[in-house]
Amino acid sequence: MSRTVQCVKLNRQAEGLRAPPYPGPLGRRIYDSVSQEGWSMWLKHQTMLINEYRLSPIEPKARAFLEQEMEKFFFGAGSEKPKEYVPPQ
């Protein structure tokens, strides 16, 4: 039986993650209150941020930026798309 969580992103009950997707307290907080669907939404958003800002996830500054955006995406006002972003058609 899968676990369910009250997803902060979807604002409803949904299937939870199988394990914390990120280390530390933020990962635990995500595990406790973000669904698999919500996490998938973040992964798409994160990919867009990496591509648009040309980030290298191995760089500490890029990782810190992505962690801040993850926090905003789930628990803050939301992570904004870059002003220059044009969605694919």
For the chain, list the domains and their CATH numbers: 4-75 (1.10.3880.10)
Give 50 or 78, the one with higher predicted confidence.
Answer: 50
Give the C-alpha separation, 7 to 26, whole Å: 15
Residue 77 identity (one-letter amino acid): A
Cross-strand bridge partners of residue 67: none
Please report how the helices 60-75 and 36-53 are oriented relative to each other, as an axis angle in degrees rounded to 10. 140
> What is the average pLDDT score of the chain?
93
Find the helix or strand (DSSP H, E) in which 69 lies: helix 60-75
Average pLDDT over residues 22-42: 96
- Whole-prediction pTM: 0.89
